Structure 1
Amino acid sequence: MANIVGATRTSSLDVDVFRLADDKMRRDTFADGYVDSPSPRMVALPSQDDIRLLRIPSETSTLRRLSQDSDGVPMVLERQKAFKVAQECKLMQPLTRTPGEHGPLSLERHVDTIPNCLGCSVPGDEKQEGPAFNYARVFTWWNMANRLHQAFEKTAANLESRLDVDGKMVPEDLKFKECNLKGDSLHLLRYCGLADTINGQIVPQDLKEYPEWSELDSGFYQRIVTAIAVGLFVQWCTTGAAIVISYLTEVRGLGCRSGGYILYGILGVLSFVFLFASSIFSHAAMLRHEAMQRDRHLKEKERGASCFEYPPPPPPRSPAAFRGLAVVTRMLGRVLVVTNAAWLILSSIWELVGFYDNCWCDGTVLSKGWRGWVILFKESSAMAAAARQPWAGGVFLSVFGLAGSCSVFWLYCRGNRM
């Protein structure tokens, strides 16, 4: 992989005609805590292993000479290709950077500031990628989605009021789309409702990762209750159909098959309870950890301590009770998930190989005890007629669960579009 090794001034012939542009002051997002210094125009000079950035002048006469020189075109194309490769590899970082006025805002400047307990990370599944771990991001996802929604609403209101980024009204006789709505990061933050004007200065709002309990509105809890209800409804409609068929088929009663399905449903609910409780305990622990980190950052700023001190001082600890409960409940939930999946596979294999075809299972001894009995002399047609009603009830329960879940999703999607 190519490396950017330095920047030097070049002669007037080293000009990239495709990348010449006026010097501009560019600013990063406020969350980065830095603003880019005015950087000169650069050209990428490729070599065998490195890419050397060269500073170029902007004389128009040089442009004319290079454009008329046919030998310079391949060289320019090679440099342009090298520049694109470096950009795609995300190697083109600003050469000089100066700390912004507010300093870096990242609360996790070092990996060891993330709290852990019993050798496991407290956030746990929240930091993992993939939809399987979305349950652990229920609080942070809502917080981010809510802030984005508020920013879009504020922007839409400003556009409807015909306001530019400076807060000035655009006259009706001018086309609003022709108005310049560009600005630096602070003005755009204020335009989107993410910054306030205090004493004539634009001060960005605090963007916290973990919302306070008081910030969670009633709609948040309503969505959680609805999601839990729909999940339990779908699970027990499918699992319940299998339980009904196995329980009501002769010999009726709680036996090996119906008992195995009930055990599968109970383990599934318990695993959900433990994992959901883990997300609550993790949020409580990380909420206090975030507050401690913010206080620590403010104290360091008051003392004038360097934000890049290395090695960093030991981070403050959040309450051990929440950290321990978050890790323990998450581990129990994972163990139950794996155990439940293994039990379902094992039960299916036993059904296929005929492990349940014995007197103890066929006689439903699990529920009848010593009064259990088995079918010895019965024609297949008679047994099929007796099993018709249980199978019809199981199929109806499955279809009802499918239709009910689809109706809920359709109603929610319809409500979001409206």
Structure 2
Amino acid sequence: MTLPVLSFFRPLLPQLRQWTRAWILCLMLAASVWATNFSTCLDEVRSGQWGTIGGTDNSGRPVSNISQATAITYDLCLRACGSGPERFNWNIFSQQFTAWLLPSLALASQLPFGARTRLDNLVSVLLTVGSPTLASYSLALTVLNGHWLAGRFSHLSYPNCTLKNHFSLHSWYFTPTITFKFWVDLEEWLNGLYPQSWSLSAVASILWVIIAYFFTVVDSFTGGVVTYSTLNSNGQAVGSVFLWMLPVVVAWLQISPKCDYTRVKGAINRANQIAFVATPDGEPTLASNISTKRAISLRKGGGDVHSDEHCTAPVFNYARFLPWTLAVEEVYAAFREASQKSESHQPVNGSTWERGDRNIRVRPANRQGSLPQVIAYIEPVVKPWAFELFDRPRGFRSRWGPGVLSRFVLASVLALGLTWGTIGAAIVGSYFVPTQGIGCRVGSYLVYGIVSTVVWMMLVASSILAHISSFTGTSNGRYVYDKSTRTAAVASIILRRTGKLLAASNAIWIVSACLFQFSSFFDRCLCNSSVFSLGKHAYNAIDLLPEDLVRSSLMSATLNAPWGAQSSLWVS
């Protein structure tokens, strides 16, 4: 059915192109005809053409002589100037777009992806741009989890304990006996996935953003950028609203997350081929000879509730936080028991301890035994063969894992600080542009920050509810939910889908708001009069005095410089 349809529309493509060009040309002509010229409008007001009432100074105070007015009230602005925007200026649009927005969009291409499908990669981009709070939160969690993991295993002495990588696997299956070579080879193969995290394109994109932002601060102090014709279309605030992306991208490049699903899965499969397990007769055998389950594997299934846990892009680390902590705790508990008993010179098989040397501290003979002996050696941590993380009796151990609250609070503070530190600078900087107050520009940045925070709250709550719904049994490989867990699962799905929809809308919103600002779409009576905060006292400052430009310029520079320093400090 597809080919006949394409064949039918193919002859119409040249005409469709012509119609599209004509439509765009008509829109540009209409914008030029109906565009507002505020300088001409103010001259008409000063001449008395629109009466003697409604003229103000740039602070909103009425003037006694209409000819001395430098600003006009919002009502008079609508009557005299109309509700349309200023004329579109291609030179201003292209300069501001390439200087402020394009570097940030290019920097977004350096974010780590690696999901199984292109749709998941697209969703990760929309989540990152639509909710910098969520992206910063996942990044902070990754760093904090890495430090916690290193500290958790640092005091263990068992030879198999070589967990140096911060694995972001969906779920772990732990077997009673895993060879030392398994851990060594898995670490080498995972490290070999990303031999070099920094590329020339990444460095160029980062330098582009840094230089552009540096020019923002310098030009703000010198006053070289701010003029009356470019004041409302200037992109200084845009440089601040996307500044959060710089520390996020740099941090991910520094961490070099192992998030490519295909390559990580391949490394795990290779390591699992040499995974040995204990048997009842005491002779270790390959895990593949007993079951399809392996030492460590990516969890399959789980339903729609755990779909975000399967997405390997780092922005989804928020969804893996709680199950990952419990998975690590399972492995840690087993190694802790084995380390304590090996330090007491207790072999697995219960016989005489064979002393090691400098090269082999614990001889292999001390670590071998039958399946019941291995289970007793690491009790009460694991079941006879291997069990899925969530298939456990109630009250078996903490459902949340150690230290989750402190890491959650610290990651939340860092994420909120970075989000509102950068977006807040754009909000306050635009607030002090005459007319001072909340207009379309400040309002668009404020909406962006609020929605970003709301999306983060919804998705974090969704991950908690998904974790709560996991404490249930399984039957024939399917999850069995009771009333409470089913309610938590449904609420988790609703929150997650709504949050993603808001994040996608927020990403489109902020890019559109920046384009509106560069194209003078926001340069109209409604936006220039700060109606949202001043209300009936709203006014439009048109004839800006030199001190107004200097004050606005210095305020923008004073705000931007400290927030840029804070973002750099956050990365370090």
- TM-score bin (small chain): 0.5 to 0.7
Distance 1:248 1:97 in 2: 68
The correspondence of residues 218-229 of structure 1 with structure 2, limited to 5 A, is 219-229=403-413
Matched, 1:242 2:426: yes
| 1:128 paired residue number | 311
| 1:183 paired residue number | 368
Check conservation: 1:271, 1:333, Cα contact below 8 A. Answer: yes
Counterpart code for 2:460: F
Q: Could you tell me how far 1:355 is from its partner in structure 2?
A: 1.1
The superposition leaves residues 182-228 of structure 1 with CA deviations (integer Å, 9 ceiling, x where unpaired) of: 5368379548736679xxxx946855237868443562111111111
Counterpart code for 1:183: Q
| 2:218 paired residue number | none
Q: Could you tell me how far 1:406 is from its partner in structure 2?
A: 3.9
Counterpart code for 1:160: E
Distance 1:247 1:385 in 2: 12
Check conservation: 1:251, 1:373, Cα contact below 8 A. Answer: yes
The correspondence of residues 256-405 of structure 1 with structure 2, limited to 5 A, is 256-288=440-472, 291=473, 293=474, 296=475, 316-319=480-483, 320-380=486-546, 382-403=548-569, 405=570
Check conservation: 2:305, 2:466, Cα contact below 8 A. Answer: yes
Structure 1 unaligned blocks of 5 or more: 1-28, 34-86, 116-120, 298-311, 408-418
Matched, 1:208 2:389: yes
Q: Could you tell me how far 1:140 is from its partner in structure 2?
A: 0.9
Alpha-carbon distance change, 210 to 261 in structure 1, aligned in 2, over 3 angstroms: farther
SS of equivalent to 2:560 = helix
Check conservation: 1:158, 1:191, Cα contact below 8 A. Answer: no
Find the partner of 1:193 among 375, 378, 389. 378
Distance 2:307 2:345 in 1: 45
Distance 2:544 2:422 in 1: 30
Deviates more, 1:372-381 or 1:350-359: 372-381
Alpha-carbon distance change, 245 to 30 in structure 1, aligned in 2, over 3 angstroms: closer
Alpha-carbon distance change, 236 to 361 in structure 1, aligned in 2, over 3 angstroms: same
Distance 1:256 1:357 in 2: 9
| 1:16 paired residue number | none
Check conservation: 1:249, 1:386, Cα contact below 8 A. Answer: yes
Check conservation: 2:348, 2:377, Cα contact below 8 A. Answer: no
SS of equivalent to 1:374 = strand
SS of equivalent to 1:123 = helix
Check conservation: 2:448, 2:506, Cα contact below 8 A. Answer: yes
| 2:325 paired residue number | 142
Structure 2 unaligned blocks of 5 or more: 1-171, 177-268, 275-284
Matched, 1:157 2:340: yes
The correspondence of residues 28-47 of structure 1 with structure 2, limited to 5 A, is none
Counterpart code for 1:399: A
- Higher Rg of the two aligned structures: 1
The superposition leaves residues 302-322 of structure 1 with CA deviations (integer Å, 9 ceiling, x where unpaired) of: xxxxxxxxxx8x864443322
Counterpart code for 2:553: A
Counterpart code for 2:413: A
Check conservation: 1:247, 1:254, Cα contact below 8 A. Answer: yes
Q: Could you tell me how far 1:156 is from its partner in structure 2?
A: 3.7
Matched, 1:251 2:435: yes
By relative contact order (CA 8 Å, sep 6+), the higher-ranking structure is: 2
Q: Which has the higher strand share?
A: 1
Q: Could you tell me how far 1:276 is from its partner in structure 2?
A: 1.1
Check conservation: 1:189, 1:204, Cα contact below 8 A. Answer: no
SS of equivalent to 2:450 = helix
The superposition leaves residues 142-178 of structure 1 with CA deviations (integer Å, 9 ceiling, x where unpaired) of: 0112223333434443443344332455366977547
Counterpart code for 2:439: G
Q: Which has the higher helix share?
A: 2
Q: CA RMSD in A?
A: 4.5
Deviates more, 1:385-394 or 1:277-286: 385-394
Alpha-carbon distance change, 126 to 185 in structure 1, aligned in 2, over 3 angstroms: farther
Q: Could you tell me how far 1:129 is from its partner in structure 2?
A: 2.2
Alpha-carbon distance change, 104 to 318 in structure 1, aligned in 2, over 3 angstroms: farther
The superposition leaves residues 230-251 of structure 1 with CA deviations (integer Å, 9 ceiling, x where unpaired) of: 1111111111111110112221
Check conservation: 1:210, 1:283, Cα contact below 8 A. Answer: no
Counterpart code for 1:396: P
Check conservation: 1:139, 1:210, Cα contact below 8 A. Answer: no
SS of equivalent to 2:403 = helix
Q: Could you tell me how far 1:277 is from its partner in structure 2?
A: 1.4
Distance 1:31 1:394 in 2: 50
Check conservation: 1:196, 1:203, Cα contact below 8 A. Answer: no
Alpha-carbon distance change, 195 to 341 in structure 1, aligned in 2, over 3 angstroms: same
Check conservation: 1:31, 1:104, Cα contact below 8 A. Answer: no
Deviates more, 1:131-140 or 1:149-158: 149-158
SS of equivalent to 2:507 = helix
Counterpart code for 1:371: H
